[in-house]
Structure 1
Amino acid sequence: MARVVRFHQHGGPEVLRIENVDVPRPGSGEVRIRVKALGLNRAEALLRAGTYIETPTLPSGLGLEAAGIVDAVGEGVSGVAPDDMVSIVPPISMIRWPAYGEFVVFPEHLVVRHPPSLGFEAAAALWMSHLTAYGALIDIARLQRGDFVVITAASSSVGLAAVQIAKLVGAIPVAVTRTSAKKGALLKNGATHVIASAEEDLEGRLKEIAGPDGVRVVFDAVGGSIFMPLTAAMARGGILIEYGGLSPEPTPFPLFTVLGKCLTLRGYLVHEIIGDPARLETAKAFIRDGLERGVFRPVIARTFPFEEIVQAHRFLESNEQFGKIVVTI
């Protein structure tokens, strides 16, 4: 038997329960992992609340990121072996492959060996943030040296990963955060410029920073009314990649700005990368290179013990964190 986190009804963090279940043997092509750390993501809160893109059959497990030690392997597995230290690339379906548990089973292609120097907590905080940012900025936008890139929700784990990726390729990251409370931390973590959108004129500041050529790439998790100043400050032929919808406000379509500047507004899910074996392998190589060069390092806001999973989810929804929330087992 092993402890897992499940929920029997949709709702707030209080619906999460720690339960004992039988530990399955890994099937063909699968790996069983003794989990040491979990990385929390907003998608898990959405699944728990019943507002995610997947609809679970209840009771349901959840979770997209974990790191630990290989406990057993199924037939045909050759890339990892028992006692290897590994982390998990987020699956397309966390209903099918939930990560919140003392033991989890995942397909081999989603299991990555990592050096002991990375540590379990950092390894559990790495893949979702850096894969999401990589897919948008490198795979889709082809971010280049000298490009201005605007990163909203910049203090999130994905936002901070985007700053690190921009620095790696020589682009200029402009971090957007709601207030100036996190400005110093964003500058310390690599942002070249920081704009507090609730305190400053976002359009005016972006035009001041990027100059007459404007911003070529925008990486946005917010939506809502921020679309208007963002697109107004973009360069002709620029691309805005939308990967979230944090704003409760309707998102206007800036028709004449899009037409006048020939802008691309594109929706994006990290599933595009995870679901394409060739693109995923390229992404893994890029992220490993960033780790080896010391440019990539997950920023961990706070750790919680497994027994405090409810409190961890409450903190996740507080929006007070700077970086990733990690749960240790």
Structure 2
Amino acid sequence: MNSPHTLDVQGLRVTLPGTARPVLDGVDLHVGAGETVALVGESGSGKTLTSRSALNLLPPGADVQGAVLVGGQDVLTMNPDRLRALRTGTAAMIFQDPRTALNPLRRIGDFLTESVTLTGSTGRAQATARATELLRAVGLDASALRQYPGQVSGGMLQRVMIAAALMGDPALLLADEPTTALDVTTQAEVIALLAELRERFGTGLLFVTHDLDLAAAVSDRVYVMYAGRIVESGPAATLFAAPRHPYTAALLASTPRWEAPQGRLAAIEGQPPDLRQELHGCPFSARCPLATELCETRAPEPRPAPGLPLHQAACHHTDRLEGSRVDA
């Protein structure tokens, strides 16, 4: 099974024990070499689980269907040795909270070099030289190698995580909310750094975020996720300028903006569907102002937006949103 993409997720369906419906329900997405793709949506929509599937980091007991191809190879069927090689070379992940990813009792240098030295393909001296080079690339110096995680700031730790992810020269980089809990200045520095490193190493980047403005600024294409499904996808410029799904439009309307009129910020009424209850029809229908009886009984399939073949939306009423940004 081959794929021209760095990451190609095909019909991914993940069901966990105790749930009445899949946590991920038929997810399709792809990331090309040197491309930045954003995956956006509310908390609990399935973004992190989708990104972790690229490393087969799925919860115990998960029932998985579909395929997740990294470099043309399905990670869901890999044996432990091949999977270990993938995680230390082909693909890497920047986890959401760097302080939970690093052992506070071990020096940063040990953390950076461990993954490549354990494989036996790289000696200690070579790994240390590589770690020093990457620390400089992310704006830190070699002194960080001797420090412990508790001795550096959150922004510096996030830079360490980026350096660690690049130790194996990955073709695919998975960034799960890499700017969460960072101040605005540090966020901007991290984003600029990721863009620079993507250009330098030609890495495909899947950028997971709930910040739509950030997604618009950094991505080539965007996937919008709701209740474990991709509800809209397309080039970032057209998707944010004229959303074709009511959920995307509602997210944009609820985003604070300097130019927005004064008054209460728009909010999406209701709550995402409970995993303990089966879904019938469109998962967004209970919160959607455009919902009809058709939406409540039949789940919409993704289809091209009128006049935009690269832009798809899973909505029965796509035409009612054409040209609109905040009609939600």
Q: Assess same fold via TM > 0.5.
A: no
Higher strand share: 1
Answer 1 or 2: higher relative contact order, Cα 8 Å, separation at least 6: 2
Q: TM-score, normalised by structure 1?
A: 0.29
